Every structure is written in C-alpha cells, then in structure tokens.
Amino acid sequence: MDKFHKTNEFMEKIEEIEKQDYGINIRKLNVCGIDIYILFILHIINRNRFSSDIVRPLLRYRSNEPITIDRISSSVIYMDDITLDDDADNIIDYVLNGRSVIIVPYEEKYLVTNTKKVAKRDPDSPEIENTLRGPKDGFTENFYSNLSLIRYRVKDINLKIDKLTIGKRTKTNVAVIYIKDITNTKFVKEIKKKLNAIDIDGIMESGYIQKFLLNHSYDLFPQCGVVSRSDKASASILEGKVCILIEGSNLALATPKTFVEFFDSGDDHYDSMYLALFSKLLRMFSFFISLSLSALYVAAVAFHSDILPEGYILALASARASVPFNALLEAILMEGISEILREASIRLPKQIGPAIGIVGTIVIGQAAVSAGLVSPLMVIIVSLSTMCSFVAPDYTIMNPIRILKFLLIFATGIYGLFGFVMGMNVIAVNILSHNSLGVPYLAPLAPLNLRDLLNFFLSDETLSKERPQILRTKDKRKQGGKGKDKGI
C-alpha cells in the first residue's frame, strides 16, 4: 500500500472526527510549510507536557531537512513513551485512551505519544489489611503506581507482567504478574484464558474480575484472595502464585487461593512462629463461632436445654420469661439487626460512623433487653458472633458466612441439633467441592500434606525451605538449591 493511500485514510479519519463530534480536539500546526495534525482530548491529557514536549519543539523546528514522522520521533519532540502505527482504525482508540496522535501528510505511519493524565493519590496505609509490623505502602487506584510497588520489591529479571485490555467501552488495563521460572504455566494459561473470554462493556473494579475467575457463577466461596498491600502481593508472587492488578482498583487479586490461606496475615510472617500458630487457630475458631454460635443457641434453648447446667437452665428460663418470641425468631431478629448496623456503619461518613455504630449497638441492645424483646444471652451471642466476623485478614471469606449463618439458624430452628449437624455437613461438602485453578480448596488439610500444613501454621521462613507442593511450582525451593545457584 503506497503512502498516498495511507494519507487518504488518515485524512478521512480526521474528517470523520470533525463531522461526528467525538469530543476530540484537532490542533493543526504549520512546520516548514507542512501541515501537521495533532489529535487529543483536552481534559484527559497532561497539558503542560503536551505544550512543552510536543507543540513547542515542533513550532521551533528549523532545518533544511523536511520534517517527517521518523524525524519527529527521533529528534524533535521530548516524549519518552512513543510508538508508530499505520492502522487508521486505531487512531480514535489511542486518543480516547489519553494519548496524542501526530499525523504528517504523505507519511505511511502516524506517531502515538503517551500524554495521559491520571488523577492519583500517593500510596497510603491499606484500610482492609491493617498490620502492626508490616510495611504501610498499599495499592492505590493508579495502575502504574501499583506496578512500580511490585517492581520495587521483586527485582527479578524473570518477573513477567503480561498486560491485557478488558472492556469494550472502558478498555481497562489488567496486568497478570508472575515469576516465569517459578509459577506453574498451567495457572497462567488458565487465568489468561478466562480473562480473554470476558466480553463486557466495562470493568470498574477488581470485584468484576474476581467474579469472572470463579469456576461457576453461583459459587459462594471466593477462589481469589484480595490483596491491598504490596508486600503481601509480592510474597504471593514469590511463592508461585499469580497476582492480578486492575486499572482503577486499589485491590489486587492473588490466585490460586485455598480456604485456610484466607486466615493468613502478614504479621504472622514477621512475628514469632508461636504467635503465628496461636493467631491462626484463633481466627479459625472465630470463623466457626461467627457461623454457628447463634444456631447453637437456638438448638440449646428450643430443643436440647438438657445439655446446659441445671442451675443455668433455671436462670435462662427466668431471663426468657418475658420474651414474646421463640428462640428461632429471636436469633433471626437480633442477627438481622446486627447486619443492619454493620451496613449502616460502612455507609456512614467516616467522622461519625464509629460513634454511631458503637452507640447504636449499645442503645439498641440495652433497649431490647429492657423491653423484654430478647434475652441478655442472645445480645451477648450476637455481639460475639459479629466481632468474630471481623477477625479474618481477608474479609471476603466472611461474606458467605453472613448468609450461611441464617440458613443454619433456620435448619436448627426446624430440626434441632440434627438440622445443625446436617447444615454444617452441607457447608463442609460445599467447601470440599471447590478448587482454585485446580488446587483443592481445603489443601493442605484435604488432601493432607503435613509439610505444607506445618509451614502454613508456623509461618517461619527459617523452617519453610520449599514452596507449597500444592502449587506444583517449577522452582520448588525458596532457600538454597536453584535460587542459590543464581546468586539470589
């Protein structure tokens, strides 16, 4: 295809933009007798860079040599991120993405410069993964800032950042990050396959991607971990997992993720292994309490009061004498109020949210007991259950529990302890049936891998010399071995 035909295509595209009113600005410059067209959108470009690094050098160009696209890219403008393209159909997409397109008549190619301006905030302490000892630099909504945080921590030439664009209208940048000589290739292929299969108008947040990575759309338990801290994301990558960064989101995704790993905190790896063991067991016990405590209350009060001490049976009966509801309705009422207060505290402004949440809980609980609507024990149980739901470092594992505990209360209220046991069995079977990128969801508990289980609970890098076997990594050793030979 000759350059005159190409120029006709470029000029036709400029005429189309002028007629259709896409909101694209066209700046026409005359340099050494040659018209140069610059296409851009004013409110999404860095105007200072556009003026000083593109427009000014072009207007100051003085040479006997004719100005060409190659000369502009190599010795005229001051931009560092430039590309050449010859496809006229891509011009509008470039401009809508914050780039400036320079077209010179009778040239076979046009120049694309990255002048995009992104409103961003500096890395700050993460809000959902607070830590006492770990670093405070959390991800922000800026895509390239988040990439720089990963690069800052993992200075390995084998670190791969594969970029994709998802969303027909938003064209959101998504990065799949892994270490080439560590991560199982099957994981990377499966993730890219699922991401490339996404056909949607736009991606607003990492939650969109997280849903598309589920094995089935109706799965209740998450199969990707949510990461807001760069040290946690880097540690996952070094372990052999894949990290996914999404433009516009301050939360990254880490996968594959097993059930027990949702109870792992960054502090566990920085403190004593005895404290790590105690903390993880405490979090898992809290998970069980949040799920089952209200249901056990219903079973004990409504069906099996004989399991309680004799003296306490009389005290409980006296406290419930004025309660107009049976144990099932009482538990549902209080758990429902607890969920309302939780939602309200999240939506309220930051300045008054904590105060309203605490006062509302105390006032409503006290008033409900004084009015004889619920028993004091029920208030204690719901308060403890709610507190336990905030213990897990990754909050996404607790979201299914907020739903399942109501189903468990219903089953127990109808069938008693038998319903409770059957409900717990259904939940256990559901968890067992899941997998994350082919990795069993309950690993290393089921199937049992004693070494991986000990390494997880102890979280001691001096003892954990190999990566988890369930990840089937290429380089299995974290200490010595291949890593030592490379001088790392």
In this structure, the answer to whether residues 257 and 149 fall within a common structural domain is yes
pLDDT value at 5 more than 60: no
**pLDDT at residue number 353:** 60
pLDDT value at 486 more than 50: no
Boundary residue ending a domain (268, 299, 318): 268
Q: Evaluate whether residue 86 is within a structural domain.
A: yes
Q: pLDDT tens digits, residue range 12-47?
A: 889 888 888 788 999 999 998 889 999 999 888 989
pLDDT value at 456 more than 60: yes
Q: Evaluate whether residue 125 is within a structural domain.
A: no
Question: pLDDT averaged over the chain?
Answer: 87
In this structure, the answer to whether residues 320 and 410 fall within a common structural domain is yes
In this structure, the answer to whether residues 244 and 156 fall within a common structural domain is yes
**pLDDT at residue number 410:** 94
CB 116 within 8 Å of CB 45 = yes
Q: Evaluate whether residue 462 is within a structural domain.
A: no
99, β-bridge pairs: 114
Q: In angstroms, what CA-CA distances link 422 with 119, 411, 418?
A: 52, 8, 6
pLDDT value at 466 more than 80: yes
Q: For residue 78, what are its two tokens? A: 């001051």
In this structure, the answer to whether residues 233 and 303 fall within a common structural domain is no
Tell me the backbone φ, ψ of residue 61, rounded to 5 degrees.
Answer: -65, 125
Q: Evaluate whether residue 314 is within a structural domain.
A: yes
Boundary residue ending a domain (401, 417, 433): 433
Q: Evaluate whether residue 236 is within a structural domain.
A: yes
In this structure, the answer to whether residues 194 and 287 fall within a common structural domain is no
Q: Evaluate whether residue 185 is within a structural domain.
A: yes
Residues 6+ apart with CB under 8 A from 70: none
Task: Quote the CA–CA distance of 259 and 407 in Å, as a whole number.
Answer: 21
In this structure, the answer to whether residues 218 and 162 fall within a common structural domain is yes
In this structure, the answer to whether residues 195 and 337 fall within a common structural domain is no
Q: For residue 449, what are its two tokens? A: 């891998």
- With 0-12 CB in 10 A as exposed, 13-18 as middle and 19+ as buried, what is 27? middle
DSSP state of 156: -
Q: In angstroms, what CA-CA distances link 182 with 136, 157, 175?
A: 27, 12, 18
Q: pLDDT tens digits, residue range 152-208?
A: 999 999 999 999 999 999 899 999 999 999 999 999 999 999 999 999 999 999 999
Task: Quote the CA–CA distance of 270 and 229 in Å, as a whole number.
Answer: 15
**pLDDT at residue number 350:** 66
**pLDDT at residue number 359:** 59
Task: Quote the CA–CA distance of 170 and 143 in Å, as a whole number.
Answer: 14
The one-letter amino acid code at 33 reads: G
In this structure, the answer to whether residues 237 and 164 fall within a common structural domain is yes
- With 0-12 CB in 10 A as exposed, 13-18 as middle and 19+ as buried, what is 72? buried
In this structure, the answer to whether residues 187 and 277 fall within a common structural domain is no
In this structure, the answer to whether residues 260 and 229 fall within a common structural domain is yes
In this structure, the answer to whether residues 301 and 416 fall within a common structural domain is yes
**pLDDT at residue number 63:** 82
**pLDDT at residue number 488:** 34
Structural domain boundaries, residue 160? 143-268
pLDDT value at 307 more than 90: no
DSSP state of 355: H
Q: For residue 393, what are its two tokens? A: 């470092």
Task: Quote the CA–CA distance of 259 and 315 in Å, as a whole number.
Answer: 40
Specify the higher pLDDT residue, 428 or 5.
428
In this structure, the answer to whether residues 92 and 157 fall within a common structural domain is no
**pLDDT at residue number 6:** 58
Letter string b/e over residues 220-252, b meaning 16 or more CB atoms within 10 A of that residue's CB: ebbbbbbbbbbbbbbbbbbbbbbbbbbbbbbbb
Q: Evaluate whether residue 350 is within a structural domain.
A: yes
Task: Quote the CA–CA distance of 61 and 56 in Å, as a whole number.
Answer: 9
Which of these, 362, 293, 368, 360, lies nearest to 323 by C-alpha position? 368
Q: Evaluate whether residue 280 is within a structural domain.
A: yes
The sign of the dihedral angle between the CA atoms of 58, 63, 67, 72 is: negative
Boundary residue ending a domain (268, 288, 322): 268
pLDDT value at 487 more than 50: no
Q: pLDDT tens digits, residue range 95-132?
A: 988 899 999 988 889 999 999 886 666 666 677 777 77
What is the DSSP annotation of 375-410? -HHHHHHHHHHHHHTT-SSSGGGTHHHHHHHHHHHH
pLDDT value at 86 more than 50: yes
State how many domains the chain has: 3
pTM across the whole model: 0.85
Q: pLDDT tens digits, residue range 359-400?
A: 566 677 777 777 778 888 888 898 899 889 989 988 899 999
The whole-number average pLDDT for the span 137-150 is: 88
Q: For residue 327, what are its two tokens? A: 């144990």
Distance of CA 211 to the CA centre of its chain: 11
